[in-house]
Chain A
């Protein structure tokens, strides 16, 4: 626990602090870049990009070794991985444009084939004399244990640059993600902006590979974005929330794994992101499962209350057991008919019914019918509209429905 607190305050050693900062920056970059991908409904492109980095790692290692250098130089490996990922990205863009195959088939084939090529290259490297300790497998699952100072610096700088890139390009990215057709009419070139977005994702993927591994970086791109979507309907807010959630996952993951060596950084970061996702799925206001369930129950009660009271006012018997129970529980109906509270409410409902009829006549273009019978019209109209409506009802033109039974 002591190491945990130390790690939390960036006091558990220089390397841990550096890894933590790297993880936060990476999380923010991945979360916000991933949001654009998610809103363009292309979340799984990131999966193909990530898998397509592997052959690049292999090729870069082989070339650097041939040239007599150290095959493990992180910058070289990252450049190599970026190049093959870019080739994969271009193929994904090319296949659906030039053939009748859908994008998901393109994603899947690039993913499988490039990863296969990467594995072939890894087996080649294993047989090279210098390749036995190459440790390139760490790019599959990521590792912070053997991380060099140089690696951490590259991750931190790369993460910062990605965030900067997103910040600069935020406006076109947001518009395209929110409404493609609007963006076209504004004169934006959708294809270029999509490529820019993919380029940012590619950058994040390449940087994150060493830290969380190429399979789990996909999680850092997708999960915070999906989670953030529960909390807001505004594109710009979703991007910021996703960045925050990504950074939070990165921070928590890094300090947890620093304080307990048996917890690998990559999976912990992802599982924290998953935890935030589950909490949001259930508890987010408006879009969360719990909130939707409560809205459903409220609507159901509103309908039953109104229809029950109208039925009683007509002098008929309420049949539905749910309605009976509801009216009794809410103190609207006693054992011998409506209570005073019930009578008060039925008067209000009668006025409201008349208002709905009148509203259809003077506001025929307003689409309110989905709320009829559920909400009171005063919850929908503005004060002015309501005054207007009541004046119309009092005038001679309106034939009000009488409720004298």
Chain B
């Protein structure tokens, strides 16, 4: 039982948790800066990114695809900014124009190329393949100390750990700046912080988180994790540091319970096959958000009548 759990569930859950945390941390700042939907835009343009990467390299391999996705994310962010400024269009509409346009472009090229293999990857990009990231060599907890077994851990685990670590590290280093820029951009400018630089870096970090997470868990979780755990955390506290910690907690909770319910839930109801873990994790994060909307201690806005 334990062996089976470690083989089939431990690594997907860990990857789910790390991906969730990687998205939730930048999500906190995006929500406070009213840019919550940039995560949505970025996760849509991942598709054209991987398609273009496939066309240039002609192979399905991870690194070019990640680079392609990251490149597309940066192009999208720049295009949104350009259209916003050149056309004097509000940010939401500019985002809508860019990501739908790029998505359409991605689908079009996909249909033009010989894509029997890539086609699988479109669904993969949307839904992820969390369930397949298993660790067959494991024989029990002792495998955690077994070098041979450890070397067969899925690569995705290492990559997402690296990204999650990077995001945690950067958040801690730049904490003070991020905090000031998030709450009062004008004040930040007067004390000499280059707020536009910090804001742009935040978007880049968001893109990195989205790309790293989409590879293992698909773009659905990415969108949900950018917004749901931080939004729920926002209703739990008034203090930014506490909010970030809550969001990490909620992301972890969603990943664990979402995965377990997706994997084992259908058996409890007499079903035979597991359902999409990525989808279930997103649903679970939504349930947490719903609960905090109803019962969170800081759910009301200032001056709002208690309902």
Contact = CB atoms under 8 A, between A and B. Distances in A.
Instruction: Pick from B37, B86, B88, B100 the residue with the most CB of A within 10 Å.
Output: B100
Given A100-B301, A268-B108, A44 B101 contact: no
B100 A289 contact: no
Interface string A124-135: 100100000000
Contact of A113 (B94, B283, B304): B283
B299 A100 contact: yes
Contacts of A140: 126
A95 interface: yes
Contacts of A119: 126-127, 220, 276, 278-279, 282
B40 A47 contact: yes
B107 interface: yes
Given A100-B304, A222-B100, A277-B97, A112 B34 contact: no
Nearest to A227: B97
Instruction: Pick from B40, B92, B103, B272 the residue with the most CB of A within 10 Å.
Output: B92
B8 interface: no
Given A104-B36, A109-B224, A120-B280, A281 B86 contact: yes
Nearest to B128: A119
B86 A289 contact: yes
Given A102-B36, A116-B220, A127-B272, A263 B108 contact: yes
A223 interface: yes
B90 to A, nearest CB: 5
A39 to B, nearest CB: 10
Contacts of A44: 37, 40, 92-93, 95-96
B96 A222 contact: yes
B262 interface: yes
B257 interface: no
A342 interface: no
A133 to B, nearest CB: 16
A101 interface: yes
Contacts of B108: 263-264, 267-268, 271
Interface string A191-234: 00000000000000000000000011011001101100110000
A268 B105 CA distance: 8
A150 interface: no
Interface in B211-228: 220-221, 223-228
A223 B101 contact: yes
A228 to B, nearest CB: 12
5 contacts: A116-B220, A137-B123, A263-B111, A267-B107, A271-B101
